[in-house]
Amino acid sequence: MKKSLIALAFGTLGLGIAEFVMMAILPYVAKDLHISIPTAGHLISAYALGVCAGAPMLTLARKLPLKKILLGLVAIMMIGNICAAFSPNYEFMLIARFISGLPHGAYFGVASIVAEKLADKGKGSEAVSIMIAGMTIANLFGVPLGTSLSTLLSWRLTFLLVGIWGVIILYYIWKWVPQVEGLPDTGFKRQFCFLKTTAPWLILGATMFGNGGVFCWYSYINPLLTNVSGFSAESITFLMVLAGFGMVIGNLTGGRLADKFTPGRTAAAMQFIICITLLSIFFAASVNWLMPLLMCICTLGLFAVSSPLQVSIIHFSKGGELLGAACIQVAFNLGNALGATIGALPLQAGFSYRYPALLGAPFALLGFILLIVFVKKYETKNG
C-alpha cells in the first residue's frame, strides 16, 4: 500500500473522529453543557453546516498546489477541535463545531483527486476507498476511545486529542504525499458549470437523502441502544467498535465492487440494503441480540456507498472536479444535518428512540431511486 495514501487516510481519521464521536458522546456533552439531548443534536448539525460552508472555499484556492491546500485544511481542523475541547458553553461549542467542519468536505475533495492521481490504472475507486479508510478506522478505534474517555474522564479530551493528532497529519502529508499535477484552472465561473447538468444533481441528491436516512437513526444511537435495546452504558464502547468494523468492511467492499462493476450500481445496491435495514431496526430495536447485527449492516452500507459516490461525482464534474469532489461531502453532511434534525422530531414529541429509524427509511429509499435513475440515464450511457 502506498505511503501517500496512508498519509491521506491519517487526515480522514482525524476528521472521522471529530464528526462521528459526537453521536456516541451526545449524552455526556448535553449533561456538561446543561442542555437536552435533542438540543445537543444541533452540534451535529453545526459541524455539517461547517462542511457545507467550507467546500466552496476550494474555488478560491484552485490555483494553489494540492498538497499545500491539504496542509492548510488540516491546520483549520486542529484549531476547531482545540476550541471545542475548551468550550465554556453551548454557544461557543456550536461555533467550534462549525469551524471544525469547515475543512472536512474540502479535504475529502482534494484528497480524492490526489488519491486517484496516485492510483494504479483501474484502481481509482480502491485508492479513494483507502483514503476514506481513515474515517472507518476512526469509527472502529477512535470513536470507541472517545466514548471511553467521556465515560471515565471527560468528553473534552477526545477533541483535544484530535487537535494534537493534526500535528502528525501535517508531518506525514508533508513527508509522504508527493507534489502531484494540479488541475487546469478553468476560471472561477467554469468551476460551477458541471452543476448545469442533471447527473451531478442525481448523485448529490442520492448522497444527501441516503445519508440523511442513516443519520436519522445513527445520531441517537447511544440512547436507542441503552433505553430500547437494553444495553448498559459500559457496553456502548464495544458496540461502537462493532459499528466501526461494519464501516471498515463496507468501505473496502464498496471500493472494490465499484472497480469491478460500476460505482453507480454498487451505490444503488447498498442504498437499498440500508433502507431495508432501517425498517428492520425500527421493528426489532428491542431484540437485544439482533440490534448489533442490524447496526453493523447499516454502517457497512453507509460506507460502502462512500467511495463509489466520491468517484462518480469526480467523473461527472469535468472542469470543476475540485468543487465537485468537495460537494459530495457537502451532500453527505447536509444529510447528517437533515437526519439529526428530522430524527429529533419524534423524540421531542415524546416517542421512543426507535422512531428515528422509521423516519430514516423513506429518505434512504429516495436515495436509492435517484441512484437507479442516474445509472440508467447517465452511467450506462457513458459506460
Quick one: three-class SS letters along 104-154? HHHHHHHHHHHHHHHCCCCCHHHHHHHHHHHHHHHHHHHHHHHHHHHHHCC
Query: Helices 198-218 & 291-304, crossing angle to 10 degrees?
Result: 160
Contact 185, 62 (CB under 8 A): yes
Q: For the segment 48-74, what is each residue's pLDDT rounded down to a tens digit?
A: 788 888 877 777 776 788 888 899 999
Mean pLDDT of 69-87: 93
Q: Which three cell numbers stand for residue 136?
A: 472507518
> How many other C-beta atoms lie within 10 A of the C-beta of residue 3?
11
- Of 55, 346, 333, the C-alpha closest to 210 is 333
Highest mean predicted confidence (pLDDT) among 204-213, 228-237, 334-343: 204-213
Identity of the amino acid at 132: I
Q: Tell me whether residue 235 is exposed, middle or buried, using C-beta atoms within 10 angstroms of its C-beta: 0 to 12, 13 to 18, 19 or more.
A: middle
- pLDDT score recorded for residue 365: 96
Q: Which three cell numbers stand for residue 347?
A: 423524540
What is the reported pTM?
0.80
Q: Tell me whether residue 324 is exposed, middle or buried, using C-beta atoms within 10 angstroms of its C-beta: 0 to 12, 13 to 18, 19 or more.
A: buried
> How many other C-beta atoms lie within 10 A of the C-beta of residue 92?
14
- Strand residues in 152-309 grouped as ranges (E): none
pLDDT category of residue 284 using cuts at 50, 70 and 90: very high
The rounded distance, in Å, linking the Cα atoms of 248 and 242 is: 10
CB-based contacts of 82, cutoff 8 Å, min separation 6: 159, 160, 163
How far is residue 49 CA from its own chain's centroid? 13
pLDDT category of residue 38 using cuts at 50, 70 and 90: confident
| Domain positions in the chain | 3-178+185-379
Q: Above 60 in pLDDT, residue 383?
A: no
Q: How far apart are the first and last CA of the chain?
A: 28
Highest mean predicted confidence (pLDDT) among 26-40, 225-239, 275-289: 275-289
Q: For the segment 221-280, what is each residue's pLDDT rounded down to a tens digit?
A: 888 999 999 888 878 878 888 888 888 899 888 888 888 888 889 999 999 999 999 999
The rounded distance, in Å, linking the Cα atoms of 43 and 218 is: 14
Mean pLDDT lowest among 183-187, 303-307, 371-375: 183-187
How is residue 193 annotated by DSSP?
Answer: G
> How many other C-beta atoms lie within 10 A of the C-beta of residue 8?
32
- Of 14, 147, 32, 146, the C-alpha closest to 75 is 14
Mean pLDDT of 104-109: 85
Contact 130, 52 (CB under 8 A): no
Mean pLDDT of 177-191: 70
Q: Does domain 3-178+185-379 bear CATH number 1.10.287.130?
A: no
Exposure letters 73-83 (e unless 16+ CB within 10 A, then b): bbebbbbbbbb
How is residue 185 annotated by DSSP?
Answer: -
Q: Report CA-CA distances (Å) from 264 to 268, 311, 380.
A: 6, 9, 9
